[in-house]
Structure 1
Amino acid sequence: MGFRLPGVVSAKQLLRRSSSNGNQTASALVADVPKGYLAVYVGAESNMKRFVIPVSFLNQPSFQELLNQAEEEFGFYHPMGGLTIPCTEDSFIDLISRLNA
């Protein structure tokens, strides 16, 4: 039995999420990111999810903290080819829902 949390549900609706499976080409993945947004990868290395978020989040202190963690963990090497955020999917959705509020 699952519980619906309004903040998480709206965050999931606001974020465009697509899987990062090997069936899509890199150019197709880049093409589906609208102007003013960027793609980030979140979750365990074996099961990363791709999120498309507004670039305005980059100015938020809580998001900048995640970017600092990403820099410490990955440096400039990001195994998925995009920006990799070192946190769980649930934590990321929680942060995004707070930023959208």
Structure 2
Amino acid sequence: MGLRLPRIVKAKASLKRILSSSEIAASVPKCHFVVYVGEAEKKRFVVPISFLNHPSFQNLLSRAEEEYGFDHPMGALTIPCTEEAFIESH
């Protein structure tokens, strides 16, 4: 499995745009970002940026891109999996 640099670049650009919002940025520690996880109800997680390099998280990003693209109406990165699957992927 190769690293898909264009996807990561798009994701990072999207994260910068999302984190520039003062309301969200105020509640997110430095070097972390917000993801919403869930299929029906979305739960908010604040995760370290280092997760972007983890193969399991990259797989989840690929799934999110396929389902939502990087311009999701929730205003943050949304991962289309169950909360349990997200937690187990770390």
Normalising by structure 1, we get a TM-score of 0.63
The residue number in structure 2 matching 1:75 is 69
CA deviation profile, 1:42-82 (whole Å, cap 9, x unmatched): 0024x100000000010011110110111111112212110
SS class of match (1:64): helix
- Which structure 1 residue ranges, 4+ long, deviate > 4 Å from structure 2? none
In the alignment of these two chains, the number of paired residues is 70
RMSD: 1.4
**2:54 counterpart (57, 60, 65):** 60
Identity %: 61
Give 2:81's aligned amino acid.
Answer: C
Alignment of 1:1-101 (within 5 A): 27-45=22-40, 47-96=41-90
Instruction: Kindly provide the amino acid, as one letter, of the partner of residue 67 in structure 2.
Output: E
Give the Cα separation in 2 of the matches to 1:76 and 1:59: 18
